[in-house]
Amino acid sequence: MTIDPSKISASTTPFALIDEHSAIESEKEILFSMHTVFRVDDIKQAVSNSRLWEVQLSLTGDNDPQLATLTQRIKGELSGSTGWHRLGHLMLKVGHLNQAEELYNELLKKASSDDDRAHIYHMLGMLKSQQGQYKEAVSFYEKKLEIKRKTLPEDHSSLANTYNNIGLAYGNMGNYSKALEFYEKAIKIKEKSLSPNHPDLATSYNNIGAVAYYNMVNYSKALEFYDKSLKIGEKVLPSESSRFGYFLQQHRFGV
C-alpha cells in the first residue's frame, strides 16, 4: 500500500494508526475513513502461499482526474436533493432493498415538503417493483401522482415516467388493460414533449405492443406498435448496434 503524503490535504484524513488503542497491539491495526479511495495498481499471487493474493494499492488525491470523472458519473446516475436521498438511490442500484426501504421510511417521516414526499414515494415505488410487490408499487406511484396533480396538469412532461412505471407494474401483475391505460397516458405526453425519433418513444411504443397488446392477444395492434418502435430504431441506431438487434428481436417475437 502506497500513500503519497503530498496527496493528503488538510481536509482529508485517510487513515489513523490505532494499534496503541487496540485490544491486541501486535495486530498493528489501521482505521481508514469512509471517504478514502485507493487505486488498484497490481494484483498478483503470493510467492510464499498460492492461496493468497497480494493487492498493491495507492492513495488517490482530491485532484485525481479519473476519480473526479468517476465521482461525476456516480452523481449523475443518482437522484435526490440530499446526500441521504442519493444514498437511498445507491442502495437500490446495488440491491440493498431492505436497507433502502428503512432509510426512505425514515426520510418520509422527516420530509418537510410535498416535493420531498413525492420523490420518496417514487423511490419506494421503484423499490417495491424490484421486490416484486407490484400492488404496493402502484400505491406509492399513485401517492406521488396525487401530490404532483395539485400543481401540475395531467399531461405534464414530468409525469410520463410515473405513468410508465405504473403501466409496467400492472403488466407484471397480468392486468394488461390497466397497463395499456397508463402506457397510453405516458405515450401521449412523450409524443408532445419529445422529438418524433426519440429513443424513449421507441421504448414506449414497444411497451404498448409487447406488454399490453401482445399479451391481450391483439397481434395486429401489437405489430402496429412494434413497427413504430422499429422505425425509430432504424433511424437513430446503426445496423450493427446491439440495441438495434434488440428492436428487431422484439419486433419479430415480442417479449
- Tens of pLDDT, residue by residue, the chain (255 residues): 677 766 666 666 777 778 777 777 777 787 877 778 888 889 999 888 888 998 888 888 778 888 888 878 877 777 766 788 888 998 998 899 999 999 999 999 999 899 999 999 999 999 999 999 999 999 999 999 999 999 998 889 989 999 999 999 999 999 999 999 999 999 999 999 999 999 899 889 998 998 889 999 999 999 999 999 888 888 877 655 555 555 545 544 443
Which pTM was predicted?
Answer: 0.71
What region does 40 belong to: left with phi over 0, alpha with psi -120 to 50, or beta?
Answer: beta
Strands (E), the chain: 15-17, 30-32, 38-45, 53-59
Indicate the number of domains in the chain: 1
Residue 72 within a domain: no
Residue 57 within a domain: yes
Write out the residue range of the structural domain in which residue 23 sits.
5-61
Residue 26 within a domain: yes
Q: Which three cell numbers stand for residue 158?
A: 414530468
In angstroms, the CA 211 to CA 165 distance is 12
Residue 69 within a domain: no
Residue 21 within a domain: yes
Residue 211 within a domain: no
Residue 217 within a domain: no
